[in-house]
């Protein structure tokens, strides 16, 4: 048995409630590595439209590694590091 001083009981309850809130927040973030089926399809289709993995991780709030693993698991070819730039004018109008 544990004997608790009644004067300290309120402080102990407050401390436990704070830890309960922190643990629930950590558990929510821990479960974010498991991607739901609906979101898997959205992530894949968005990636195929040309959005980078970094932007997908910001948009869907998953880790980049989890998104990369999802794409590899679904046989999506990942090509990053290509700089897309607008075509430059070959000829300028003379004044």
The tens digit of pLDDT for each residue in 29-63 reads 555 567 888 989 999 999 999 888 899 988 988 88
Give the chain's domain count: 1
Which range marks the domain in which residue 50 is found?
6-73
Q: Is residue 94 domain-resident?
A: no
Q: Is residue 82 domain-resident?
A: no
**Given a cut of 70, is residue 73 above it in pLDDT?**
yes
Q: Is residue 88 domain-resident?
A: no
- State residue 74's pLDDT score: 92
Q: Is residue 23 domain-resident?
A: yes
Mean pLDDT of 51-80: 88
Alpha helices in 31-88 (DSSP H): 37-48, 53-60, 64-73
**Given a cut of 90, is residue 64 above it in pLDDT?**
no
Which conformational region is residue 16 in: left (phi greater than 0), alpha (psi within -120 to 50 degrees), or beta? alpha
Q: Is residue 40 domain-resident?
A: yes
Q: By the 8 A CB rule, do 47 and 55 touch? A: no
Q: Is residue 78 domain-resident?
A: no
């Amino acid at each position: 048995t544990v004997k608790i001083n009644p004067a300290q009981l309120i402080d102990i309850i407050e401390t436990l409630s704070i830890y309960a809130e922190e643990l629930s927040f950590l558990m929510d973030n821990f479960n974010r590595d498991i991607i739901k089926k609906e979101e898997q399809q959205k992530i894949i289709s968005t990636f195929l439209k040309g959005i980078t993995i970094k932007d997908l991780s910001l948009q869907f709030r998953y880790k980049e590694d989890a998104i990369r693993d999802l794409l590899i698991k679904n046989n999506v070819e990942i090509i990053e590091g290509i700089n897309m730039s607008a075509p430059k004018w070959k000829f300028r109008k003379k004044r």
